[in-house]
């Protein structure tokens, strides 16, 4: 089979990843397209997708039995066959459908880091992952591929604030993360719950959300109610209670900057605004957001 060049997959990582300038010193990833025996393809050790919906998988199996595999999987050549890069669900469904061969693009990928990067970004760009899988994918790109949050954002075609918001989901207790995986709560619910100070408070609020069937706005109101009670308790200890206008402005700034914001005022109407950041990338994101207003 002749090698195919000048295709999207044949131009290297630059073609797979939007808004990234191609490194002229990097070698070109050349692809082949051919039918491969399923038994020659091994699993992807860097598979970012963890959860596979059984009903969706059954639907795909039925479709493959009738129409075959329409979209090729992506693999790389290894010593004893091929290793999957992207297309885990298609590969699983094809095995269940008991077909013998599957269409595949063969990429010339030599390093494990490059393999991990392509596998993660391919899934992230197609929005195939649930929020927690996406968050863990971003974290792996940062930790294992040594990328900054801004570089991750550029590679997957999202705003850096979006990447930061996903990464914050990893701070949620495991029960709440699992609820996100299972679509019991939404990303909006999760972001609201992150406003609580401790995991125990997050869990208590999460249980209230489930038991009462609260929507995202109700969950945000739950957080505000808790904070109001907290302020009242502080007031009973001779600590100044913030005016509603100040709290409302804090909420607006917190939502706009996607981080904790506190406004401390004095009797002479002076004061200070405290903006939390959690890393150098987070600091740069906040500054960029303020400067570009």
Q: How far apart are CA 157 and CA 149, in angstroms?
A: 12
* Residues catalogued as catalytic: 88
**Closest to 156 (Cα-Cα) out of 137, 181, 170:** 137
Asked if residue 92 lies in contact with residue 102, where contact means CB atoms within 8 angstroms, the answer is no
Within a 13 Å sphere around the CA of 84, how many CA atoms are in the beta-carbon half? 25
Would strands 41-42 and 81-86 be described as parallel, antiparallel, or unpaired?
A: parallel
CB atoms within 10 A of CB 285: 23
Q: How far apart are CA 142 and CA 132, in angstroms?
A: 15
All residues at 6 or more sequence positions from 210 whose CB lies less than 8 Å from its CB, including other chains: 179, 184, 185
Q: What is the largest CA-CA distance in the chain?
A: 80
Q: How far apart are CA 56 and CA 79, in angstroms?
A: 33
End-to-end CA distance of the chain: 54
Q: How far apart are CA 74 and CA 88, in angstroms?
A: 9
Please tell me what DSSP assigns to residue 71: S
């Amino acid at each position: 089979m002749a090698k195919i060049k000048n295709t999207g997959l044949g131009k290297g990582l630059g073609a797979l990843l939007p808004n990234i300038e191609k490194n002229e010193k990097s070698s070109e990833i050349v692809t082949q397209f051919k039918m491969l025996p399923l038994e020659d393809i091994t699993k992807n050790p860097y598979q970012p997708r963890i959860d596979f919906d059984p009903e969706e998988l059954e639907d795909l199996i039925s479709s493959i039995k009738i129409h075959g595999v329409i979209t090729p999987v992506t693999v790389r050549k290894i010593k004893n066959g091929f290793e999957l890069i992207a297309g885990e669900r298609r590969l699983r469904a094809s095995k269940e459908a008991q077909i013998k061969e599957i269409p595949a693009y063969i990429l010339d990928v030599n390093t494990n880091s490059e393999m991990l990067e392509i596998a993660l970004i391919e899934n992230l760009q197609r929005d195939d992952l649930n929020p927690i899988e996406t968050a863990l994918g971003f974290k792996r790109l940062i930790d294992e591929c040594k990328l900054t949050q801004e570089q991750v954002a550029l590679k997957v075609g999202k705003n850096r604030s979006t990447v930061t918001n996903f990464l914050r989901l990893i701070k949620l207790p495991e029960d709440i993360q699992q609820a996100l995986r299972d679509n019991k709560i939404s990303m909006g619910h999760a972001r609201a719950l992150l406003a609580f100070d401790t995991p125990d408070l997050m869990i208590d609020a999460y249980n209230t959300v489930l038991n009462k069937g609260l929507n995202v706005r109700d969950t945000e109101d739950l957080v505000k109610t808790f904070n109001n009670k907290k302020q009242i308790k502080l007031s009973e200890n001779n600590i100044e209670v913030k005016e509603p206008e100040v709290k409302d402005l804090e909420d607006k700034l917190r939502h706009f900057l996607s981080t904790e914001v506190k406004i401390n005022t004095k009797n002479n109407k002076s004061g200070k605004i405290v903006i939390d950041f959690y890393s150098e990338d987070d600091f740069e994101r906040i500054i960029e957001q303020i400067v570009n207003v």
